[in-house]
Structure 1
């Protein structure tokens, strides 16, 4: 009987067995190594992530297109089935909007006159970059998305990402042709907000759930279910007035809000550039870093010369007053 295999099988068979046996241990050590590298050099890890996103984004874009096409066809069929009901609803809404249009025109003219009287400074112009969601990179321990827009489109780290309903998150990493969006429900997300009715300031803090927390409220804050939460504009990260969510529950231990978006239904997002540098800009990060040179002349160049310098002993002796002991009584004249 002919023997199956040969020298190659006898050599590689033990290697395959060893790899299968120690694969789990190798993965654990690799994970710990990447964690230590991320703590040691965060800039390198961010560059690696951005480069990986640029490499994976074309594949994700191609893979996500069939799903997007199927969803589009399903929406069209649904709209055709409910075309008459949609038409009637739009007629009623059109009548209501005509009445609101006249009221909005009157308020717009009045607002313009009041701004001229108060010499109101107009906010910076808004520049939007619309992109498509090509991957959901989140899971149980991270809430993030990948979009098909990067630095070539003017996207930079820290910019606000909004949907039709309101704020979705911010740009955490910006590659050349793709970027990672950190959602407001992520545990690393903190957004300065304000309660619309009571004007109380707080923070929306994600905890990897669908209902983020409303933290840092004052003891006398007035918050009730149904209150709208807007961005406050503090810190220069986001402009004021962007809708964030609605208060869903109020208890003694926590106040939770319901975001205005559904994570698994996001298809197109807009990256908003309000012209704000924010707290996450690279320029402010560099300015906040302590200088490596601790020379006194660089830290305080305006200090006069000689201040803070310890004189030598010879200089102290030279400036001491000459003191002569008193002469004995017999030597006195």
Structure 2
């Protein structure tokens, strides 16, 4: 595919068009993804997440500048909340990342979350593939900062950076299940604020609640940064790289990638089968089942079995139970 070839050759306009194409999710997008897929699997995917106001965009900018100073190429995907009117990204993190503008070794793209839960849009994974195939060494995915529900990034990234700041939340906020459990690296940003020692202690307490058992045998380091001044940015970037080295040395990177691919494959199959089933379901059957459910004559599970039976023409008893 010519567009993929141009993007891989460094044509930024072609890359932008390619990402727009894969965002669409139509037949053309599938053709493009098939063409670029053989060139993926080389970039280090870094997820950066945390509550709004923690300074994620400034931190990402500083880390990207640091990696550029080392000769690494960096792409940034900033997943913003969706405008309810235009459907587009409403924060536009590229505005905050002007320091990266004009650098041929950097690429920044804002994407709308389109209402997707977990902080990632459905097309983010495909956009990451496009950036990976374009040859970037590091792809940073900055999520919308929705809070503890934003754990989806852990499934897409190799290394997850969770950003905290002093003075946000109560004493037990740092030990709640959810977003903090996905961290491979903790960054306590705005560390020039009062209360930074308390925030670090809370994180350390949370890390040791599990009796020293951490994901993949890795204990997440805690790095204090002041992203506005660049303080300790090199240390944060080094912690991210140490985590990747840990995954590689313990043969965990390939395992994570295999699990991610299997999840993606199952999601695609599920969506494809549902779309095909709905296309083949007779309108009168569709309406009848909806009416029966609305009148509480039929439960949704039984209605699903009947819909599948009417389309695939096999007895209801043959429908696997307890599977989604």
The two structures have a TM-score, normalised by structure 1, of 0.28
- The structure where strand makes up a greater share of residues is 1
Larger radius of gyration: 1
- The structure where helix makes up a greater share of residues is 2
The two structures have a TM-score, normalised by structure 2, of 0.28
